[in-house]
Amino acid sequence: MEHIYAAVLAGGSGQRFWPLSRELKPKQLLSMFGQESLICQAVRRILPFTGDGEHVAIVTNERLFDELRNHLTAQDERRLREVRYIQEPVARNTAPAIALAAALFAAEDPEAIMVVLPSDHILEDGDVWRDCISAAVAAAEDGYLVTIGIQPKRAETGYGYIKGADALPEYSRGEAEPCVVERFVEKPDQARAEEFVASDKYFWNAGIFVMKAGRVLEEIEAAGGEVAHIAEVVRWIAEQEPAQRQGGEARARFESITPISIDKAIMERSERVAVIPARLSWSDVGSLLSLEGIAETDDDGNVRVGRGVDIGTRNSIVYTTDRLVATLGVEDVIVVDTTDATLVLDKSRAQDVRQVVEALKAQGAEELVQPKTSLRPWGSWTSLLSAQNYQIKLIEVKPGARLSLQKHHHRAEHWVVVSGTAVVSRDGEQVDVHANESIFLPVGCVHRLENCGKVPLQLIEVQVGEYLGEDDIVRLDDDWAREL
Amino acid sequence: MEHIYAAVLAGGSGQRFWPLSRELKPKQLLSMFGQESLICQAVRRILPFTGDGEHVAIVTNERLFDELRNHLTAQDERRLREVRYIQEPVARNTAPAIALAAALFAAEDPEAIMVVLPSDHILEDGDVWRDCISAAVAAAEDGYLVTIGIQPKRAETGYGYIKGADALPEYSRGEAEPCVVERFVEKPDQARAEEFVASDKYFWNAGIFVMKAGRVLEEIEAAGGEVAHIAEVVRWIAEQEPAQRQGGEARARFESITPISIDKAIMERSERVAVIPARLSWSDVGSLLSLEGIAETDDDGNVRVGRGVDIGTRNSIVYTTDRLVATLGVEDVIVVDTTDATLVLDKSRAQDVRQVVEALKAQGAEELVQPKTSLRPWGSWTSLLSAQNYQIKLIEVKPGARLSLQKHHHRAEHWVVVSGTAVVSRDGEQVDVHANESIFLPVGCVHRLENCGKVPLQLIEVQVGEYLGEDDIVRLDDDWAREL
């Protein structure tokens, strides 16, 4: 399967999951829906087909790139750390994003077959999935644009549907039996949705596609007009040196694209589209109601995760990450609690969390942007207190890992080691700092933190200074090469 | 008014206000109902009559004594810092507590007139109050047991009522016109409560009494039996040296008392009881519903205090101390949020918060006991993070104040000064630690922290050790004399 590539779409901002998600911790980074984050699940789902991590590209934007990369490079599994990244210069919906990946894959391998996957869905892994992708690859090799269609479980009006027609038995693999697509139907009304479910011919469009990269570009070109312009832009970008791909020229060209979805751009127009009906358990994790699935429901219909009690509470969801949350006599509510923010909502309003986010944005609430804990390739940091002239963080460094060689213009740092041993280089001098010892890093000193030990290093950092922004950092040397 | 004393009853545990109140921060210490805490308001209310703080006694128990004293000695007003404390050896309801205060006051001043005041109510201060106490003192001087009766505003079934009869015009002062009490009625049913309000002869019993201390003991003795035994016990305790008043013998005697309220013990039996009907704005701050009164109600019937937004929310109360709390589409709920715990309840269940507290107690939740921030006579501390082998606190020391000279057997401390200057004595050596400097205090070192400067001192304390309990402290010298 050497020609198989994957484009994992990870540009979503995840407003609907606030306060669990933040601008810099979108839904795809959340870990409560399974053993690991949704994006790690997505990458693992496709690795058996691509073989290695380097054939997987995370398609994202400039704002999220660093967080996604920090998240994936923090994983133990080598192939998750090896994935590559494609940055959309600006957001222009899915067609330009997928086309950009197609152009880059095609430039590398003219035979490239790309699997397009959302990064923030739940999808059952296993034999059925394996058969689906095998069948899809077979059809894609013959030039089909292939979609995976989920067997609908209910008359959902919020999804798009795909209608299947004649079978394509030559591509069947195991349980996966592709057929030609008759048409795509956007969000139907209730009556039509019920017909669709009853008919056995309609499937949910889960945004999973398998296509030759070259065919994607061909179909885009064939669409003509504004759509065809997408192909021009992405082909131009793919011809540039990597450093130029996020440059001003690339951005200007990408900005000239009219936003359009991949469905509208090519799927609904092409004559050669196949769907593989799949009996897969799937969820788009579309709202906080999805939390209902992550723990058992008690006798009163409540789902609770985290510390606290519910007295006289019914049909509610209480999710708390670390704090204590109690409920008394409420019904049909969702309480989502994180270290720094809490949301209490009626279940019927789960689709409207975006309104809360917009209102908080108008207030300038910083709790929309940054999560309190942030993974890094070398470990993690957690913000404990932010005041005007000082800030406290808990920093954890993995055995064998080190941070960049850095300095700050505006802040001094006091490090108190509470567990493990730190090896600190400070203006050329090297100092071992053991548990219950501390070290001072004055403003402007060039320093680096390293854990040479065998156990995790934990230290408390007290930053003192007049400006404490994350961007007051000059990286002189960095194992994690943030500047691409 | 040299003979006027006050007993401020402050033994309440305040479960009904969790999570705003804690075992060690009962309702009387809460500050949202006015400019300062309810107990400070209570003491200030009576100071114009007692003249100085030393004539005011806070009646409390061993568990709360330290917190109440820390709270009152942290106040700027000298007279609040000067109040005295009476510790009930064990809780035995109000009659023994008031009798103990009466015995101590009478031992000091045979002519003592005592005003008994709850520490956790809201009460309008001003001319009417002044007239009431003046009239009450006049009647008490003639041997009356005087109560203040609040003009009822609604047919409340949760309160006790006092029925007034013949006027006692000789004691009238301004608007305060005492009359003889005909009888006390415990919580009536709805129909009777409505009659009471309509009749104009019934008043709410707000637990405010003015009586000669000697008369209290006389009436208790006159009651005979188990009640009379109270007088024996409190007279014995009042004869002991202060150090003996909390000793084992005092405790054993106090334990032998059968719990009884002051109403049942003497008010309902005595022939000489007066009530002063008062048109005073009053609240017993009986449940979280009282939060409704602390801010303006918006157009949707919501009361909000603290950061966040409410979208499509109606008739709700959202109170948050420092975190961000948002609501979406809920109705008739109360959300109370503190640094470490959140309670979400239906308004109809405000009386049942105790059930939540009991359930959390069964889980061993530490959030029931200790507030995250605790006032001290020298300033305050705030717990920022507690882990197994380390703990982080923010410590604030007032200008000119110092902590005790102390040492710890199990923990070392790292202090990073973030604002102001600390003068630290460490094993005899004296060190100035300025902002952005730190100092290390190894296990066992004898140390003291002092703010000799003119601005508040703020420092971050990182404690490291295998045992981090508050009780690992040996105080060698203490300006605040915690050991009485």
Q: Give A211-225 pLDDT, tens digit per residue.
A: 999 999 999 999 999
Q: Is there a domain that residue B466 lies in?
A: yes
The two beta strands, B411-419 and B457-465, are antiparallel
Question: Tokens in use for B42?
Answer: 């209570």
pLDDT score, position B2: 79
pLDDT score, position B415: 98
The DSSP call for residue A83 is: -
Q: Which residues contact B447 (CB under 8 A, 6 or more apart)?
A: B405, B406, B407, B413, B424, B425, B426, B427, B441
The mean pLDDT value for B268-294 works out to: 95
- With contacts defined as CB-CB under 8 Å, which chain B residues touch A328? 343-346, 349, 352-353, 355-356
Model confidence pTM above 0.80: yes
The mean pLDDT value for A149-153 works out to: 95
Adjacent-strand bridge partners of A403: none
Model confidence at B481, in pLDDT bands (50, 70, 90)?
Answer: low
Residues B170 and B279 in one domain: yes
Nearest chain B residue to A384, by CA: B384
Query: Over the stretch A282-325, which tens digit does the pLDDT of each residue have?
Result: 999 999 999 999 999 999 999 999 999 999 999 999 999 999 99
Residues A20 and A127 in one domain: yes
Distance of CA A190 to the CA centre of its chain: 31
Q: Is there a domain that residue A368 lies in?
A: no
Does the pLDDT value for residue A119 go beyond 90?
Answer: yes
Residues B65 and B164 in one domain: yes
Model confidence at A245, in pLDDT bands (50, 70, 90)?
Answer: confident
Of A246-250, A349-353, B434-438, the poorest mean pLDDT is in A246-250
**Higher local confidence (pLDDT), B476 or A277:** A277
Q: Determine whether the interchain pair A389/B418 forms a contact, defined as Cβ–Cβ distance below 8 Å.
A: yes
Query: Please, what is the average pLDDT of chain B?
Result: 94
Query: Over the stretch A456-479, which tens digit does the pLDDT of each residue have?
Result: 999 999 999 999 988 899 998 877
Does the pLDDT value for residue B168 go beyond 90?
Answer: yes
Q: Determine whether the interchain pair B307/A365 forms a contact, defined as Cβ–Cβ distance below 8 Å.
A: yes
- With contacts defined as CB-CB under 8 Å, which chain B residues touch A353? 328
Mutate to test the interface with A, among B385, B418, B468 (most CBs of A within 10 A): B418
- The structural domain count of chain B equals 3
Whole-angstrom distance, CA of residue A401 vs CA of residue A407: 18
- With contacts defined as CB-CB under 8 Å, which chain A residues touch B367? 324
Nearest chain B residue to A434, by CA: B464
Residues A91 and A38 in one domain: yes
pLDDT score, position A1: 62
Residues A305 and A164 in one domain: no
Residues A13 and A110 in one domain: yes
Q: Which residues contact B292 (CB under 8 A, 6 or more apart)?
A: B303, B317
Q: Range of A466's domain?
A: 378-477
Q: Is there a domain that residue A271 lies in?
A: yes
CATH label of the domain that carries residue A440? 2.60.120.10
Whole-angstrom distance, CA of residue A225 vs CA of residue A216: 16
Residues A244 and A332 in one domain: no
Q: Determine whether the interchain pair A309/B360 forms a contact, defined as Cβ–Cβ distance below 8 Å.
A: yes
Picking from A363, A387, A419, the residue at the C-terminal end of a domain is: A363
Query: Over the stretch B383-419, which tens digit does the pLDDT of each residue have?
Result: 999 999 999 999 999 999 999 999 999 999 999 999 9
Does the pLDDT value for residue A482 go beyond 50?
Answer: no
Residues B296 and B434 in one domain: no
Query: Over the stretch B323-344, which tens digit does the pLDDT of each residue have?
Result: 999 999 999 999 999 999 999 9
Q: Is there a domain that residue B209 lies in?
A: yes
Q: Is there a domain that residue A405 lies in?
A: yes
- With contacts defined as CB-CB under 8 Å, which chain A residues touch B311? 352, 355-356, 359
- With contacts defined as CB-CB under 8 Å, which chain B residues touch A419? 389-390
The mean pLDDT value for A263-268 works out to: 95
Q: Is there a domain that residue A371 lies in?
A: no
Whole-angstrom distance, CA of residue A87 vs CA of residue A95: 14
CB A217 within 8 Å of CB A106: yes
Residues B263 and B316 in one domain: no
Q: Is there a domain that residue B368 lies in?
A: no
Q: Which residues contact B338 (CB under 8 A, 6 or more apart)?
A: B19, B20, B320, B321, B323, B371, B372
- With contacts defined as CB-CB under 8 Å, which chain B residues touch A344? 325-328, 330, 333, 335, 344
Q: Which amino acid appears at position B149 of this protein?
A: G
Q: Which residues contact B232 (CB under 8 A, 6 or more apart)?
A: none
Does the pLDDT value for residue A392 go beyond 60?
Answer: yes
Whole-angstrom distance, CA of residue B221 vs CA of residue B115: 20
Picking from A283, A312, A344, the residue at the C-terminal end of a domain is: A283
Residues A89 and A236 in one domain: yes
Residues B263 and B298 in one domain: no
Give percent of chain B above pLDDT 90.
Answer: 90
pLDDT score, position A484: 33
pLDDT score, position B300: 97
Inter-chain Cβ pairs, chain A and chain B, closer than 8 A:
180
Query: Over the stretch A322-340, which tens digit does the pLDDT of each residue have?
Result: 999 999 999 999 999 999 9
Residues A144 and A178 in one domain: yes
CATH label of the domain that carries residue B52? 3.90.550.10
Report the residue from A337, A349, A418 with minimal CB separation from B342: A337
pLDDT score, position B477: 85
Query: Please, what is the average pLDDT of chain A?
Result: 94
Q: Is there a domain that residue B369 lies in?
A: no
Whole-angstrom distance, CA of residue A393 vs CA of residue A405: 19
